[in-house]
Amino acid sequence: MTFRITVRPAERTFEVARDEPILAAAIRAGIGLPYGCKDGACGSCKSRLLEGRVIHGAHQQKALSLAEEEAGLILTCCATPQTDCVIEARMVPGAGEFPVLKMPCRVMGIERAAADVAVLRLQLPANQAFQYRAGQYVEFILRDGSRRSYSMANAPEQLGAPPAIELHVRHMPGGKFTDHVFGAMKEKDILRMEGPYGSFFLREDSDRPIVLLASGTGFAPIKAIIEHMRAKAIERPAALYWGARTRADLYRHEWALQAAQELPWLRYVPVLSEARPDDRWDGRSGFVHRAVMQDLPDLSGHQVYACGVPIMVESAKRDFVASCRLPEEEFYSDAFTSEADKHDA
C-alpha cells in the first residue's frame, strides 16, 4: 500500500510506501526536499502539513517542538504518512539530481592534520561515476547497519583520476566510527558508503554576497564550495569565517590563507575561542558567529552557509536573523549532529 504526497507550491507528487518516512521516498524519487541529518536531530527538513495525517517517529524537541507539532509542522525525515498528504516545503533545485549510489571505497591515505582531525582520502570504484554537489555528504554503512555522515572536502571538479574523495573526520572519543578511524583503520581498508546526500550546497541562481561559516571540521564542505567556485569562475564576494579552539585546530589554515591570496573575491577570517599563549595569536578571538556579526551587522543582502557543531549552527541562525536582519530563507546549513545530540533531552 502506498500514499501519495503532494508538495506545494511546486505541485510535485510522489508515492510513499506504508511505514516509510516521507523524506526517504522523496530522495528515492529524486524530489529535492530540504534536509540535513535524516534522523530527527537538526530540523532542516521542517515542513508544514497542509492536508492528511502522519505519525512522527522519535525526534529531538529542538528539531521540532511540541508547539510546532501542534501548529501543523512536521519533520519529513521521521514522519510516516497515514493518508495521502499535502505538504508545504521549499524545493531545493538540484538536490535530487544525482543518483544515490551504494559502493565500496578504499582508504588511500590517513593524515593526522591535527590531534583530533584525520584527513582521509578514499578511492572510489572507477566503474561507478559518482557525482555530487560541493557541500554534500556520504554515509558510511557500518557492520551493524548503523550509518555515519561525512561531507566531501574536495569539489567534484577535484575528484582526480582515479576518482577519490577527501573527508575531514574529527575524533569523538567513545564514538563508534571515529574511534575506529583513530584506532585500527589503515590504508587499503575497504569501507562501504552511500551517497550523495544533503541539500547543503551553493545556490547558484543568486548573486548575493556570501558568508561561509565553519567550526572545526565544518570547514570540509566549505572548502569544497570554495574549490567549486574557483573551478566554475563564480566570483560572488565571499567571506570565510573559520572558528576553532586553538591555532593547531585550524588544520588547513595555510590552505585558506593561500586561497584568499589567490582569489580576489575571497576574504578569510580565522577566529580562535581558546587561543593558548604559545599560539602567539594576534587574530580574532571569541565565538566565530559573533565575529561575523561584528564585521557585518547588516546581513539583509547576504546569503549564509554555515556548517559544523550544532550549537554554532543554531546560534548563528538565531542571532543573524534576530539581530542582523538576515532573511531566514537565506541561511543554509548542515549541523554535524551525532549520537550525543540524539540522546540529549
Ligand X SMILES: Cc1cc2nc3c(=O)[nH]c(=O)nc-3n(C[C@H](O)[C@H](O)[C@H](O)COP(=O)(O)OP(=O)(O)OC[C@H]3O[C@@H](n4cnc5c(N)ncnc54)[C@H](O)[C@@H]3O)c2cc1C
Residues that bind ligand X (CB under 6 A): 36-37, 137, 148-151, 168-170, 172-178, 198, 217, 220, 334, 336-340, 343
| Residue 31 engages ligand FES in binding (rule: CB under 6 A) | no
CB of 172 to ligand FES, least distance (A): 18
324 interacts with ligand FES by CB under 6 A:
no
- 74 lies in the site for ligand FES, by CB under 6 A: no
Question: Closest distance between ligand X and the C-beta of residue 46, in Å?
Answer: 15
Residue type, 152: M
Residue 77 binding partner per list ligand FES, ligand X, none, with a CB distance cut-off of 5 to 8 Å that depends on partner kind: ligand FES
**Pick from 27, 23, 81, 29: nearest CA to 50:** 81
Helix (H, G, I), strand (E, B) or coil at 105: strand
CB of 127 to ligand X, least distance (A): 26
What region does 160 belong to: left with phi over 0, alpha with psi -120 to 50, or beta?
Answer: left
- Which among 174, 184, 228, 238 is positioned nearest to 207, based on CA atoms? 238
- DSSP assignment of 131-190: ---TT-EEEEE-TTS-EEEEEBSS-GGG-TTTTEEEEEEE--TT-HHHHHHTTT--TT-E
Q: How far is the CB of 284 from ligand X (least distance, A)?
A: 23
> Could you say which of 16, 25, 44, 219 contacts ligand FES (CB under 6 A)?
44
45's contact among ligand FES, ligand X, none, with CB below 5 to 8 A by partner kind, is ligand FES
CB of 72 to ligand X, least distance (A): 26
Question: Minimal distance in Å, beta carbon 21 to ligand FES?
Answer: 9
Span interacting with ligand FES, options 36-44, 106-114, 252-260, 316-324, rule CB under 6 A: 36-44
Grid coordinates standing for 317? 541562525
Q: Compute the distance between CA of residue 230 and CA of residue 259 in angstroms, rounded to an integer.
A: 9
Partner whose footprint covers residue 340, from ligand FES, ligand X, none (CB < 5 to 8 Å by kind): ligand X
CA dihedral 227, 232, 236, 237 (to 10 degrees): 30
Query: For 248, what's the count of Cα atoms within 13 Å in the CB-facing half-sphere?
Result: 10
Does the protein bind ligand FES through residue 75 (CB under 6 A)? yes
- Of 35, 150, 177, 332, the one binding ligand FES (CB under 6 A) is 35
**With CB under 6 A, what is the number of residues at the site for ligand FES?**
13
Residue 146 Cα distances to 139, 193, 307, angstroms: 10, 11, 23
Query: According to the binding rule CB under 6 A, does residue 43 interact with ligand FES?
Result: yes
* Site for ligand FES, rule CB under 6 A: 35-38, 40-45, 63, 75, 77
